Amino acid sequence: MEKIKQNAIVKKIGFNRLVLICVWILLYILFAVLTPIMRPNNSFVSYARIISIMRYACFMGFLSLGVTFVIATGGIDFSIGPVMFCAALISGYQLTSRDWPLALCLVLCILVGTIFGIINGLLVTYGGLPSFITSMASMMIAKGVGSVFTKTQSVSWPQSTAENGWYRNLLSVQAGGIEIPVGLLILFAGAAVCAVILNKTMAGRYILCIGSNREAVRLSGVNTKKWETLAYIICGTLAGVAAIFYVAKNTIVQPGLGDTFNNDAIAGCVMGGTSMTGGVASIGGTLIGVLIIALLQEGILAMGYQSHYQYIITGIIVLVVVYADLRSRRRRN
């Protein structure tokens, strides 16, 4: 075991992430075997299924990447799902009912997320409110604002073939009969940028250090409030980006929903090795965590169960991962 951990390639990727990749592969094999048994005439191994997993993973991925920054500071953001919906509703309403140009609506979509991020961040850092409560409150506000803005009507973003439908190409493009997962590439690029921010910039350095020991960082003369607020802003902005990929997948957005996605996003993040107590975060881990959740979602549907089973499994996985994280921390201390 120790030998494997010391291997150069393993070290580069990270042992935990490698385990997660193995988990993903094992789960895939499991679903490939079980699906035909549970539902004869159905198969799990197909390109269409992979694309379906990817479509779910795209918006979940951006949510999860964003919340990774907040969790790295030792905080939490429960508002991301409803913020994503709120952004999709407001910008979609402007697009369909007020005939704003699509490009402007996409910018607006991201901006709505950013604004929620700024508000959350300021309340937590300068206002001194607990992030748990703040994000609970802004979750409700986001739900309400989205509903009120669209007069409680759902919003239908245009179909691919319709005018203004090109935004769906951000998720996938049909080329010569094959669907190319553009969204996945954008997600990977986004993750790469996030990884650089987290590991190579001043912001990332201080965000992680704040998560480990906020007071020691503050007493080093660092403006901890500024950097911590930035984490929430990144989180909100990425929720806005996630909204674009959500509508590209589903086109229809219902008001008053979105909170279920919080759980999946946070679960993906925690599964990937980001510590709920802050200080330790892995962008690569988050990415794989999200892919596992997307695979679970698809696999359970393929086997003919409702997605509620996915919640049970995800819940159990999160408990196991967090428990293991706590154990290893306790051992170190």
Partner 1 sequence: MGDVILTMKGIDKSFPGVHALDHVDLEVRKGEVHALMGENGAGKSTLMKVLTGIYHKDSGTITYEGKEVEFSNPREAQDAGIVIVHQELNMMGHLTVAQNIFIGREYMKGKLIDDKRMNEEARKLFDQLGIDIDPTETMSRLTVGKQQMCEIAKAISHEAKVIIFDEPSAALTEAEIEELFKIIRDLRAKQMGIVYISHRMDEIKVITDRVTVMRDGGYVGTLITKDCTKDDIINMMVGRVIYEDPKTESAVSPDAPVVLKVEHLNAGRMVKDVSFELRKGEILGFSGLMGAGRTETARALFGADPKQSGDIYVNGKKVDIKSPQDAVKCGIGYLSEDRKRFGIVVDKTVAENSTMASLEYYMKGLFINKKKENEAAQKYVDLLKTKTPGVDQLVVNLSGGNQQKVVIAKWLIRNCDILIFDEPTRGIDVGAKSEIYQLMSELAAEGKSIIMISSEMTEILRMSDRIVVMCEGRKTGELSIEEATQERIMHAATLRE
Q: Which is nearer to partner 1, 42 or 201 (CB)?
A: 201
Structure tokens at 10: 């393993």
Considering only residues 180 to 219 of the shown chain, the ones binding partner 1 according to CB under 8 A are: 196, 200-202, 205-206, 208-209, 212-213, 215-219
Q: Which is nearer to partner 1, 2 or 99 (CB)?
A: 2
Q: Applying CB under 8 A, which of residues 40, 221, 308, 331 lies at the interface with partner 1?
A: 221
327 binds partner 1 (CB under 8 A): no
Q: Which of 15, 73, 31 is nearest to 305 (CA)?
A: 31
Q: Which is nearer to partner 1, 196 or 326 (CB)?
A: 196
220 binds partner 1 (CB under 8 A): yes
Instruction: Compute CA distances 50 → 55, 137, 229, whole Å.
Output: 9, 36, 37
Q: Which is nearer to partner 1, 125 or 310 (CB)?
A: 125
User: CA-CA distance, 265 to 279, in Å (whole number)?
Assistant: 18
245 binds partner 1 (CB under 8 A): no
Query: One symbol per residue from 269 to 298: x for binding partner 1 (CB under 8 A), - otherwise; what is it?
Result: ----------xx------------------
Structure tokens at 16: 């935990």
Burial of 35 by CB count in 10 Å (0-12 exposed, 13-18 middle, 19+ buried)?
A: buried
- For 225, the enclosing helix (H) or strand (E) is helix 224-250
86 contacts 146 by C-beta, under 8 angstroms: yes
Q: Which positions ≥6 away from 194 have C-beta within 8 Å? A: 65, 68, 69, 234, 283
Least distance CB 208 / partner 1 (angstroms): 7
Which stretches of the chain bind partner 1, using CB under 8 A?
196, 200-202, 205-206, 208-209, 212-213, 215-223, 279-280, 332-333
